[in-house]
Amino acid sequence: MGLYSNYIFPRLLDRSLGTEEVGEQRSRALAPVRGEALEIGFGTGLNLPYYPQEVTRLTAIDSEQMLADRVAKRIDEARMPVEQFHLDASHRMPFEDQRFDSVVSTFTLCSIADLPSALAEIRRVLKPEGRFIFLEHGRSDDARVARRQDFFNPIQRIVGRGCNMNRAIDRLIEEAGFEIETLARFLMPGSPRILGEMYRGAAKICDR
Ligand SMILES: C[S@@+](CC[C@H](N)C(=O)[O-])C[C@H]1O[C@@H](n2cnc3c(N)ncnc32)[C@H](O)[C@@H]1O
């Protein structure tokens, strides 16, 4: 898997998630991000051009480092200061409680192995009035499509290096103690249905 994991996969990911269609969705998803923001699963930094000017500083974490030169160039061109950390979001992050105004995840909740722990960390570091902003693919509401997702998921986990296509993103976010304020469900244009069932929205910490 060395050549695939280290060379081919990062380039495939950067290309498939760097299209105009995905960029349009990134722009919509990131519009409400404000203040000091944390991005989990930073990947190759494809969100950077889409952050609004209300973002004053970005802390970016990822458990892997991919295409370091490309990422460094994107960080240099970003309009806000960006600090990058090599960290696993499902372990305790070295940030104090209630530090961030916004936490962002795009195309990442599918591939975090211990998602409940990562969502608990996101909740811990988010200010009470902050927002968790997400743009994710996941489980279809159509039972026939969901069955196909369950069937193909073991293959997807290998090809997509731990990516799951069948996670019910909204339910998992709510179960972690968030209230979803806005949610758009749609199919990503040009994507096969089992991979393109999208969840775009914002959640706040549930005070119940
Ligand atoms: C499909 S990529 C998406 C990258 C980027 N967010 C984007 O929208 O282009 C998923 C990213 O999540 C990262 N990731 C997976 N599990 C993680 C974890 N436990 N903690 C932090 N990052 C993680 C991967 O290394 C990868 O960079």
| 67-96 burial code (b ≥16 CB/10 A, e <16) | beeebeebbeebeeebebeebbbbeebebe
A 10 A CB-CB count for 144 gives 9
Q: Is the pLDDT of residue 2 over 90?
A: no
What is d(CA 195, CA 198) in angstroms, rounded to the nearest whole number?
Answer: 8
What is d(CA 89, CA 46) in angstroms, rounded to the nearest whole number?
Answer: 19
What is d(CA 87, CA 3) in angstroms, rounded to the nearest whole number?
Answer: 23
pLDDT classification of 207: cutoffs 50, 70, 90 = confident
Overall average pLDDT of the 114-140 stretch: 98
Mean residue pLDDT of the chain comes to 97
Cα 208 to middle of ligand 1, angstroms: 30
Residue 8's pLDDT is 94
Overall average pLDDT of the 166-173 stretch: 98
Residue 1's pLDDT is 58
Of 58, 22, 57, nearest to 135 (Cα)? 22
Residue 16's pLDDT is 95
The closest-lying atom of ligand 1 relative to the alpha carbon of residue 13 is: 1
What is d(CA 107, CA 96) in angstroms, rounded to the nearest whole number?
Answer: 25
What is d(CA 108, CA 38) in angstroms, rounded to the nearest whole number?
Answer: 13
DSSP for 119-160, please give it.
Answer: HHHHHHHEEEEEEEEEEEE---SSHHHHHHHHHHHHHHHHHT
What is the CATH T-level fold of the domain 2-205, as seen in this structure? Rossmann fold (3.40.50)
Q: Which of 58, 108, 112 to mutate to test the pocket of ligand 1 (most atoms within 8 A of CB)?
A: 108
Residue with the nearest Cα to atom 14 of ligand 1?
41
The closest-lying atom of ligand 1 relative to the alpha carbon of residue 160 is: 1
Residue 208's pLDDT is 62
